[in-house]
Every structure is written in structure tokens, then in C-alpha cells.
Amino acid sequence: MSSTTMNDILGQLGTVADGLSEETVKACAEKIDAHSRVFVYGAGRSGLMLRALAMRLMQMGKCAYVVGETVTPSVEEGDLLILASASGKTHSVCHYAEVAKNCGVDLMIITAKKEQVSSAAENVAGSPLTAIAPADVQFSVPDKDSGTGSGQVMGSLFEQSLLLFGDSLVQHLAVDPQRMRKNHANLE
């Protein structure tokens, strides 16, 4: 078993960032900005990274919710649901994508599963998630179950990339530090 140092991880994250265009980040930030209510969902550690994004959006004054929390309202047409699944196969993520789509909710899909396009006469093969809606973001990271990993455990590189991507989105949105400070938790 090899040891992955912080510098190795930073190098891997730099490679992922280099593979993501600034236009993609900007388009996703604009998609968030265009919606008055934003919901997020991911399973496991991906969900934790999206919770961090929801917290920043709330601090910015955006109406943001985490799916599954007791105070999360029902989604409505015109809302945005941000979903993350590295494999694009996570059952709960796919289920929520389908339900939200049927409710007229806009989706932002973040995944690591690349769609494979063969000839024009054949269908586009992808993940169950990208069959529901096309991916807005696809990180170039190894599958957590493949033998060609990053040297990190399971899907760590995807999750780290997701956290940094969320912070990049916030930087592209109109940030008002005073408003963020006012909305920051004070029951600490």
C-alpha cells in the first residue's frame, strides 16, 4: 500500500482543475444564480461536500436546502437541484433526479462518469444519472472501485474536487462579505 502525501493530493487536484474549463464553472454559477431556491443532494462524502456548498449559498443570502433534512421543503417547478455521484449509479441520487425532473425542477449533475459516444446511429451510453439529465460537470478522476486509482482511498479525489468546485462556484457568484458574515452561524 502506497502512502499519498498532501503534495501528491494537491498535484492530483491540480490535474482535475486543469481538466475543468472556466466556462463550465461560470455556466454552473450562472445556473445557480438564475434560481431563487437551490437544493443539494449526494450520498456519503459527496453529500457532505454539497452540504458545504449549501452552507456557503445560504451565507450569501441564497435560499439553499439539503435534501433529507427535516426542515427541507418540497421542491417545485423552477427550483434547482444539484446532484453529485462519481459513478452516476448511486440509487438515491438517480431516484431524486427522476422525482425532481418530474416536478419540473432544473438539475445540475456533477459526476466522474464520462459518457461514451460511438457512432451517430447508436445511442449515447452513459450512466443511469446522465440518462436522466446530461452532466453539467464531469471530473476526470478514477473510479473508486477500479484498480487504477489515484492512490487515495475510495472516491476521495472526486469528493475533494467537488468541495473545491463548490468553492469555485461561490467565488463566481456575487459575494458580499458583510452579508456572509451576518448570515454566518452565531450559535457557536
Based on its alpha-carbon atoms, the radius of gyration of the chain, rounded to whole angstroms, reads 17
43/49 Cα distance (integer angstroms)? 10
Is there a contact between 169 and 162 (Cβ–Cβ < 8 Å)? no
At residue 23, does pLDDT exceed 80?
A: yes
**Segment (H or E) for 52:** helix 44-59
Task: Please calculate the CA angle 108-91-142 and round it to the nearest 5 degrees.
Answer: 70
Q: Is residue 148 part of a domain?
A: yes
pLDDT recorded at residue 95: 98
How many folded domains does the chain comprise? 1
Q: Residue 27 forms beta bridges with which residues?
A: none
Q: Is residue 92 part of a domain?
A: yes
- Tell me whether strands 63-66 and 106-111 are parallel, antiparallel or unpaired: unpaired
CATH code: domain of residue 108: 3.40.50.10490
13/164 Cα distance (integer angstroms)? 9
Residue numbers of the domain that contains 165 = 31-116+124-172
The one catalytic residue among 30, 76, 77, 159: 159
Is the dihedral angle over the CA atoms 2, 5, 10, 14 positive or is it negative? negative
Q: Which residue stretches of 91-176 are H helix? A: 91-102, 128-132, 156-172
At residue 154, does pLDDT exceed 80?
A: no
pLDDT recorded at residue 13: 93
pLDDT tens-digit profile of 106-145? 999 999 956 444 433 333 457 999 999 999 999 988 766 6
Which of left, alpha, beta for 13 (phi over 0: left; psi -120 to 50: alpha)?
A: alpha
Q: Is residue 10 part of a domain?
A: no
Q: Is residue 135 part of a domain?
A: yes
Q: Is residue 181 part of a domain?
A: no
**pLDDT confidence band for 1 (50 / 70 / 90):** very low
Q: What is the mean pLDDT of the segment spanning 3-21? A: 89
Q: Is residue 53 part of a domain?
A: yes
Q: Is residue 107 part of a domain?
A: yes
Question: What values do phi and psi take at 37, rounded to 5?
Answer: -125, 135
Q: What is the mean pLDDT of the segment spanning 29-58? A: 97
* 159 annotated active-site: yes
Q: Is residue 142 part of a domain?
A: yes
